[in-house]
Structure 1
Amino acid sequence: MPRRFSNPLIWVLIVFAMIGLGSYLWNSPQQLISSILIIGVIVGVVYFLLQRSRPAENNKYKKAVKQSKRKYAQPTTTLKKTSSKTTPMKKRKKETHLTVIEGKKNKKKNRASF
């Protein structure tokens, strides 16, 4: 079973962070909001730049998707228009009557004669 937050050092850091955010919010809430927005913009720009620097993986994935779509694509079927004239119904042939002939099931073969 993994240990979550069992180290006291982690708890001390979390408590100090909560105290710092609380005092920052109490003393200058406008500055707190602006700093959060600035950090968000910086993280967004860095993420965008990192995504643009790795196009090779994305291109390979797109190529594989195209190939699989071509390979497994369902053929498009065109609907045929029904003709307005009626065709006579084909007569069904009568099924042939088949009978099963009972054979000699219980008789064992003489293997020595082969």
Structure 2
Amino acid sequence: MNVKKSWTIIFYLILSFGAIGLLSMLISNPVSLVKNLLIIAVVAGVIYFIYRLYLRKSPKDYARYRRAVKQTKKRAKDKERSPSRPAHLQVIQSQSVRKTTPVTKSHKRATNHLTVIDGKKRRRKKLFFLE
């Protein structure tokens, strides 16, 4: 017998026992069934609340994420505005038609806060030479 098939049979067997138990409780004592279901819902709600309270991201991480999303959207918008043409398709204007355009100052880019971590390269080289 296939292992997957045996687990499927066990799953449906447990599911059918649960359904039989719920039906018998509904027939014999419906108030107790409602009480048990409310207790289960309250316990699940408390567990979910504790999970959301302790495992959610800190506001600092969320602010960094929002800033990164904003930068990504801005870059995408800039790419849409100025589609670049390949060099062989660019229009070359004659000297008489060219106009002098005022030189605009380019804005400073924000500094990148990424650092390179070298690790233990030197130590590895020393160990390599000792072998």
* TM-score calculated relative to the size of structure 2: 0.44
Q: Which structure has the larger Rg over C-alpha atoms?
A: 1
Please report the TM-score for the alignment, with normalisation by the length of structure 1: 0.50
